[in-house]
A and B are shown apart, each in its own frame.
Chain A
């Protein structure tokens, strides 16, 4: 008991110090602009970021500029170019919405500001214990270099007016697709959602004992993916356009589903079906499906580049994103519907009540319906899957 008290006391010391630090951070951030480079392809996310901007402006006098990217790599390339040009400070990027290979690339090339996530006041609502989804990003250790803000979990969307739910196991897909020729497809694997479809299949089809958390060698890759390519060869002829062309992204695919050209889409956001129905972007008959063994999940983070002109402002925004009120607003299906990264067990009763009071809908799954989370394989798997798919099927 005594040691517990000592430990608690010791734990408080950095907390007190960091409260002072945080005041200094807020002071330095006031009156300045944060350039937040974030993928801009989703209207609801854009509106949410703009809402967060209004909030930090009102609370801390920080102006948030959302620089909408077509691809996160654009921001990475920009920071890299600045580093190359010797621009060690005053960079044009303050904050980036990022995860997976882009994060791995920035970390590897030394393009990051340093550990900051742990010092954010709202980080206390996060589960940061080893093994939590918040401390590794596609198996790459986060080490406080990025702060989480939304949860992603891979789901399928199907139009119940035209087709039944996908098979419980990925192995059943070739037969299912054969029964619905030309009505099923997946995004181009050059896009991360298309690659995720392949990863989802790989996670189920890889031979017993394959460890996807270890970066692949040529030999382990060949052994692990052999059943996947057999499966894909059986599936492909039944796909939309005979498997010769693919929608560029999940959004292009959602549009095809809305247009009635296909009956299936997929998403990293379990709330996306309900959100799209509300918005007129999908027919009301669309529902969400998760494979029986669970599906790939990951966390979206924000990072600060090493040469950010306004790292204090970036921290204020990263902290605001973790505010329980902001997270509950984000999880509201009328706003964004993205699942929160906060640990419900750590939240104050009021915050827990806010989450419990969020509206539901027929196309909106409950957290417990989503099944187990399969971890993201090491980034090398994705890059190699993409390259191998290109080699085999892009002519």
Chain B
């Protein structure tokens, strides 16, 4: 077997056996339980009772609509704003600065942003306190600005997290389209900027970004941690309802919970279909407009609203992070004070409280990212050696499976399976994180890897370097910046994981995220803030390192410096 074949066999086995198979097994267990088969709790199906019980849950209809509405609205809004912002900023040299500005938001886990945003938006929060003297409010207004029945705060929170992610994915995708030339051609034919973006660039752009948009949609429709903190409560969104059912004292509730997991799956498939139909309609409508000769001149001003709205959301997210910092050092900070009357370091000095979770978060993130990086490099390199680059569509599909399924739908089953074949909790959690770290890392790395100039490797081969030497001495150094960026993405994904830590660690592994979400339920906002700040700082440090290390190592090679 050639070295490429061997590498491929090892990597393929790891990816299929470690990722594809367990996810399918977990899913299978969940589906069986949804149809009444869960011998562990004395249920022997098939039986439709779990579905009847689920459908009888009060507020189920509204919970379903809420999940669909908040998830789709957040995805649509993020998509619109990301596209509009890039359209407005493109060619103005802002893309690189954009990445640096967005790094803290990309790095900050959903839970951290949600905890900060909950305070910024609350009726007694920062915005309301700033407005109180102007509007004469003696007491906080009795208006639902978080946990509102329409889920607007949740949509805003999701958008604050997904917009930076989509901006990053889109700006990477845009580099593969000759935007400047096509824009010039379009403008020369008398079309406005908006028209060129909508009808020329977007159709080329969409196939490349479809997958990240679907991932955002899947995440947003099934999110639990953010919906717990910012979402409505009576009823909550469907995923929160299912998560609650899963922890109901009456263990028979696991059956309707499993049915809920399957329902989530069906709903998600429905939203995917809706998104595909919407894209087709948009395409057809665009062509119809085009045929009628619309040129959309003078719409540039409308287009400028989108970056302004994006800036507003980004500003709000930064306010959320600032609020976390201030809260972590507050003793008491009550209405209507704009700044705490009494500061204290005691929550930070209590390192025994946050030291272990922080260490666990860092260890799990390093381990899962290291494993994912090794697997990704092995797979990509083997494809190069076998000359199969870019032909593994099934792999692209397989690695997206964990990202495109609602987490609850297969994690419950997985944790059930784990009891029969117990792994040490730490190993189980690292593996559980790897399920999500590997796909994101792969997405971040695949493009730059395949875009690397093949002539470098050809030259090295012509000079007599063997395949391993070419990998170590040419490819990996040249790809250092994207490798580290991908690793930082993986690290951030790991630090943010909530349900895998909880389900696979059996509650025995405490990370910053499980602690922050537990504390966000209201016990002490100051200690929650300390955890959330650390939760945001860890991945931010990883992103800074990903920018700084290549810049320092390659300081004399301009073409390689931190240009990931």
Residues of A within 8 A of B (CB): 35, 37, 40-43, 65, 67-78, 80-85, 87, 92, 101-102, 105, 109, 162, 181-182, 188, 190, 240-241, 244-249, 251-256, 258-261, 279-281, 283, 383, 387, 390-391, 393-395
What residues on B are CB-neighbors of A182 within 8 Å? 142
Contact between B41 and A84 (Cβ–Cβ < 8 Å)? yes
Contact between A261 and B140 (Cβ–Cβ < 8 Å)? yes
Contact of A259 among B62, B334, B517 (CB under 8 A): B334
What residues on A are CB-neighbors of B62 within 8 Å? 395
Contact between A105 and B249 (Cβ–Cβ < 8 Å)? yes
Within 8 A of A (CB), among B484-525: 506-508, 510, 515, 517-519, 521-525
Interface of B is mostly: loop
**Cα(A252)–Cα(B520), bound, Å:** 9
Known: A190-B244, A258-B334. A248 touches B507 (CB 8 A): no
Contact of A188 among B39, B233, B246 (CB under 8 A): B233
Contact of A395 among B139, B235, B331, B510 (CB under 8 A): B235
**Cα(A105)–Cα(B251), bound, Å:** 8
What residues on B are CB-neighbors of A383 within 8 Å? 250
What residues on A are CB-neighbors of B39 within 8 Å? 84
Give the contact stretch, choosing among B19-27, B264-272, B412-420: B412-420
| A-B contacts besides A249-B521, A261-B124, 14 pairs, CB < 8 Å | A67-B507, A68-B507, A69-B507, A72-B249, A82-B419, A105-B249, A251-B522, A251-B523, A255-B522, A258-B334, A259-B140, A261-B123, A279-B524, A280-B332
Closest CB of chain A to B115's CB: distance in Å? 12
Contact of B40 among A85, A241, A251, A256 (CB under 8 A): A85
Contact between A74 and B247 (Cβ–Cβ < 8 Å)? yes
Q: Which residue of the partner chain A has the closest CB to B228?
A: A248
Known: A244-B234, A391-B58, A393-B234. A77 touches B247 (CB 8 A): yes
**Cα(A35)–Cα(B524), bound, Å:** 24
Contact between B522 and A245 (Cβ–Cβ < 8 Å)? no
Contact between A101 and B521 (Cβ–Cβ < 8 Å)? no
What residues on B are CB-neighbors of A72 within 8 Å? 249
Q: How many A-B residue pairs have CB under 8 A?
A: 152
Within 8 A of A (CB), among B429-467: none
Contact between A67 and B508 (Cβ–Cβ < 8 Å)? yes
Closest CB of chain B to A191's CB: distance in Å? 10
Closest CB of chain A to B171's CB: distance in Å? 38
**Cα(A80)–Cα(B254), bound, Å:** 11
- A sample of 24 cross-chain residue pairs with beta-carbon separation below 8 angstroms, ordered by A number, consists of A41-B518, A43-B524, A65-B508, A67-B507, A70-B518, A81-B40, A84-B38, A84-B39, A84-B419, A92-B508, A101-B249, A105-B250, A109-B251, A162-B139, A241-B144, A245-B149, A245-B233, A248-B522, A256-B124, A258-B332, A259-B122, A260-B139, A280-B342, A387-B58
Does residue B256 face the partner (Cβ distance < 8 Å to A)? no
Interface string of B396-438 (1 = CB under 8 A from A): 0000000000000000000110011000000000000000000
What residues on A are CB-neighbors of B336 within 8 Å? 260
What residues on B are CB-neighbors of A42 within 8 Å? 523
What residues on A are CB-neighbors of B157 within 8 Å? none
Q: Which residue of the partner chain A has the closest CB to B421?
A: A85
Contact between B506 and A80 (Cβ–Cβ < 8 Å)? no
Contact between A78 and B507 (Cβ–Cβ < 8 Å)? yes
Contact between B419 and A281 (Cβ–Cβ < 8 Å)? no
With an 8 Å Cβ cutoff, the count of chain B residues facing the other chain is 56
Does residue B30 face the partner (Cβ distance < 8 Å to A)? no
Q: Which of B147, B251, B526, B527 has most A Cβ within 10 Å?
A: B251
Residues of B within 8 A of A (CB): 38-41, 58-59, 62, 122-124, 139-140, 142, 144, 147, 149, 228, 232-235, 244, 246-251, 254, 330-332, 334-336, 342, 344, 415-416, 419-420, 506-508, 510, 515, 517-519, 521-527
Q: Which residue of the partner chain A has the closest CB to B342?
A: A280
Contact between B248 and A73 (Cβ–Cβ < 8 Å)? yes
Known: A77-B254, A80-B41. A41 touches B521 (CB 8 A): yes
**Cα(A349)–Cα(B189), bound, Å:** 99
What residues on B are CB-neighbors of A248 within 8 Å? 228, 233, 521-522
Contact between B249 and A73 (Cβ–Cβ < 8 Å)? yes
Q: Which residue of the partner chain B has the closest CB to A181?
A: B142
Known: A105-B251, A248-B233, A248-B521. A260 touches B334 (CB 8 A): yes
Q: Which residue of the partner chain B has the closest CB to A71?
A: B247
What residues on A are CB-neighbors of B523 within 8 Å? 41-43, 251
Contact between B518 and A40 (Cβ–Cβ < 8 Å)? yes
What residues on A are CB-neighbors of B525 within 8 Å? 255
What residues on B are CB-neighbors of A43 within 8 Å? 523-524, 527
Known: A70-B521, A73-B249, A280-B331. A83 touches B123 (CB 8 A): no
**Cα(A73)–Cα(B127), bound, Å:** 37
Pairs A-B, 3 closest by C-beta atoms:
A84-B40, A252-B522, A260-B335
Q: Which residue of the partner chain A has the closest CB to B59?
A: A394
Q: Which residue of the partner chain B has the closest CB to A106?
A: B249
**Cα(A258)–Cα(B124), bound, Å:** 10
